[in-house]
Amino acid sequence: GEAPTSLLPPGFLSPRIRPLSPRALGAEINVIASSLYRLLHPAGTPPLLPISTPSTSRRAGIPEVNTPPQNRPLLATPRPGCEVGESSAAAARRQGPAMAHGVDCSYMETRLQDTERRMMAALELVNRRKDRAAVRAEIEVLRNERLAYEQEGIQTRKALARSEAHCRALEARVAVLETRARRLEWQRQAADDFAVEHIMRT
């Protein structure tokens, strides 16, 4: 059989979004939503339930037992312009834009755009968290440096106090030595005077 193609005409979606089948688009949205859910919630949180995508088939979700008997032939009868055994892709190409525009993809496009906005918000939140973590790390480094400077200042002040005490002790010792030197000089001068006087008497 011929591979199914997208029912959307070129340019119907945003240029950044490749036309996907509803099943593939739903799978991609589930993957993105699961990634964001794991990113924004802590470990141990119950997993996110998959997002159900609306069916593009007009017969989806209509049980035959609940369909009135007079409507069952309508559901079983092929649509006008479609032969028995003809693929939906071939019918879409033959009917052109009218059938493509009849498929409501606004829901999926809105969900995809909303998911993209959530992804960008999550990335911005992660970047802000990284920025805050970097700022906190820098603040911690500065705090440690400040503590180191404070400890160094305390040690410097203690060393300065010891140096000042040592200088005062040296000054006191010099004063004592100067006093002794003056006393010895006085005693020597007195001895010289006594010797001269003794010589003069003799």
Q: How far apart, in whole angstroms, are the C-alpha atoms of residue 161 and residue 171?
A: 15
Q: Is residue 35 part of a domain?
A: yes
Q: What is the pLDDT of residue 168?
A: 94
* Structural domain harbouring 87: 22-136
Return the higher-pLDDT residue of 101 and 185: 185
CB 1 within 8 A of CB 87: yes
Q: Is residue 126 part of a domain?
A: yes
pLDDT digits (tens, 9 = 90+) for 61-86: 444 445 555 544 444 444 444 444 44
CB 6 within 8 A of CB 22: no
Count of domains forming the chain: 1
Q: How far apart, in whole angstroms, are the C-alpha atoms of residue 193 and residue 189?
A: 6
Q: Is residue 194 part of a domain?
A: no
CB 26 within 8 A of CB 52: yes
Q: Is residue 192 part of a domain?
A: no
Q: Is the model's pTM score more than 0.85?
A: no
Q: Average pLDDT for residues 83-101, to the nearest whole number?
A: 46
Q: Which of 14-23, 75-84, 111-120 is most confident?
A: 111-120
User: Which pair of tokens denotes residue 139?
Assistant: 């603040």
What is the length of the chain? Answer: 202
